[in-house]
Amino acid sequence: MASLSLTNGRVRRQEATARRRAEILRAALDLFLRQGVEPTTMEQIRAVSGASTGSIYHLFRSKDEIAHTLFVEGMRRYHDRVLAAVRRQRTARGRIRAVVATHLRITAEEPELSLYLTRLGMADADAETAAEYRAAHAAFAQDLYACLRPHVERGELADLPPELYFSLVVGPAAHLARSWLRGRYPHNPLAAVEILARAAWQSLLPPRRAGRQRPRSAS
């Protein structure tokens, strides 16, 4: 019984720490979006989150570490969700649509974090965060290409340099997402999934198939 009580107590403490960490990150994200990373202070983050001075410094050494954590964990979660969606599909067209749909779904579901990742995050990123972002981005592009490569080898998709697949599939959706996040595109971005997925699909067809392809809804 004593062992069970100790275990339960440890689990409760871990859960409380995880909640406090999430509250600090949410408060920091709100402040970073409203006033930028540079002007924000640890005291402001502590006050908005409701954390004690001891608890915030126990979890994060500095504001820069919080900014770094938000950026890196946000990018990792984005990459994991997109790749998981792609791997659930079996056809080339289904995989391309999954990339577009998941990118726009994440943007619509997490607009504050998406805005931070696409604009304020990199604008204020320190050298360490910027380097880690570039490495994560390159790894994601390679993982995406690995999912598409069997379809390239079977002649279902055009044989292009690996970096181009990311640009052609993600690029237009990312541009639309940024426009929506900044208030320049007034419509629901999810309504554009099919047309962007179809455009991405057609841009990757081998020349002999592209000439025969008729526009239709992505599947």
- Write the pLDDT tens digit of every residue in 170-217: 999 999 999 999 999 999 999 999 999 999 999 999 987 655 555 554
Structure confidence at residue 134 (pLDDT): 80
Q: Comparing 1-60 with 61-219, is the CATH topology the same?
A: no
Least confident of 62-76, 86-100, 145-159: 62-76
* Tokens 């100790």 -> residue: 6
Interval 28-61: pLDDT, tens:
999 999 999 899 999 999 999 999 999 999 999 9
Res 95 pLDDT > 80:
yes
Domain spans of the chain?
A: 1-60, 61-219
Q: Which amino acid is at 212?
A: R
* Residue whose structure tokens are 């940024």: 178
Domain 61-219's class? mainly alpha
**Exposure of 79 by Cβ count < 10 A (0-12 exposed, 13-18 middle, 19+ buried)?**
middle
**Spelled out in words, what is the top-level CATH class assigned to the domain 1-60?**
mainly alpha
Whether the Cβ atoms of residue 75 and residue 133 lie closer than 8 Å to each other:
yes
Burial of 207 (0-12, 13-18, 19+ CB in 10 A): exposed
**Residue 6 above 70 pLDDT?**
no
pLDDT at 123: 56
CA distances to 94, 150, 153, 155, 211 from 208, in Å: 20, 18, 15, 10, 6
Q: Half-sphere exposure of residue 68, counting CA atoms within 13 Å on the CB side?
A: 13
pLDDT of residue 5: 62
